[in-house]
């Protein structure tokens, strides 16, 4: 009888200690789970930050390349204009020097009248025609260069516009054509597989395939769908 109370106390203490240990193990397990989730979340946040930094660097690099290309195009324009101006000035100076020389030599009696007439009637005419031909050739070259550069800038503008209206998550492209007499309100949505489109012709090919499959009665505009739908931006 005297041992029974003591035994009950020991049993209760043992049970209480066991319960405390179980609670402690559960608490330690919860803490470990929390720490694991915390580390996982931090790793995910770090990955997102790295992705954002990489995207920002890429956007800055693209912007820098475009600025450099535009700067180079302007420099080429200036160089062509300088050459044309130099050719025009050279023609004027050559004519003036030649006229002064002819006057001086004639006054000194170096040239006789028949030779003077021959020079005026043939040589001067040939020289002016040759100079005019050179100037016209340079003007034609400048015009061709301006056309090529202008078309290149136009294509860049179209590709930038296409990239700006694409769905960034799905890559889908939809072009509104309700303001045109196509008979349809829009072209698309269609998937462009490449994130970095290389040419306007590549996009036109995807648009034409969509038209052939979904609206075969729509005729392709003379300059293409992109040139017809995307407004021309003034520089």
pLDDT range class, residue 205, cuts 50, 70, 90 = confident
Question: Residue ranges of the domains in the chain?
Answer: 16-161, 166-229
Q: Is 24 exposed, middle or buried (0-12, 13-18, 19+ CB in 10 A)?
A: exposed
Which range, 127-136, 212-221, 226-235, is most confident? 212-221
Which range, 126-135, 195-204, 217-226, is most confident? 217-226
Does pLDDT of 154 surpass 60? yes
Does pLDDT of 79 surpass 80? yes
Contact residues for 116 (Cβ-Cβ < 8 A; gap 6+): 102, 106
pTM value is 0.36
Does pLDDT of 38 surpass 60? yes
CA separation for the pair 175, 177 (Å, rounded): 6
Say what the pLDDT of residue 197 is.
64
């Amino acid at each position: 009888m005297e041992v029974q109370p003591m035994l009950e106390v020991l049993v209760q203490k043992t049970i209480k200690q066991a319960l405390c240990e179980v609670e402690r193990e559960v608490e330690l397990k919860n803490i470990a789970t929390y720490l694991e989730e915390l580390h996982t979340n931090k790793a995910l946040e770090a990955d997102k930050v790295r992705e954002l930094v990489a995207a920002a660097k890429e956007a800055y690099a693209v912007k820098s390349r475009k600025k450099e290309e535009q700067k180079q195009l302007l420099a080429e324009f200036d160089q062509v204009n300088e050459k044309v101006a130099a050719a025009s000035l050279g023609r004027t100076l050559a004519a003036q020097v030649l006229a002064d020389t002819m006057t001086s030599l004639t006054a000194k009696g170096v040239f006789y009248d028949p030779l003077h007439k021959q020079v005026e009637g043939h040589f001067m005419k040939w020289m002016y025609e040759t100079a005019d031909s050179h100037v016209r050739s340079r003007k034609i070259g400048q015009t061709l260069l301006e056309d090529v550069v202008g078309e290149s800038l136009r294509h860049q503008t179209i590709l930038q516009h296409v990239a700006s209206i694409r769905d960034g998550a799905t890559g889908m492209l939809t072009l509104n054509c309700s303001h045109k007499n196509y008979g349809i309100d829009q072209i698309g949505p269609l998937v462009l597989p490449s994130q970095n489109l290389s040419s306007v012709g590549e996009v036109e090919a995807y648009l034409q395939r969509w038209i052939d499959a979904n609206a075969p009665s729509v005729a392709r505009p003379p300059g293409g769908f992109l040139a017809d739908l995307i407004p021309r931006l003034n520089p």
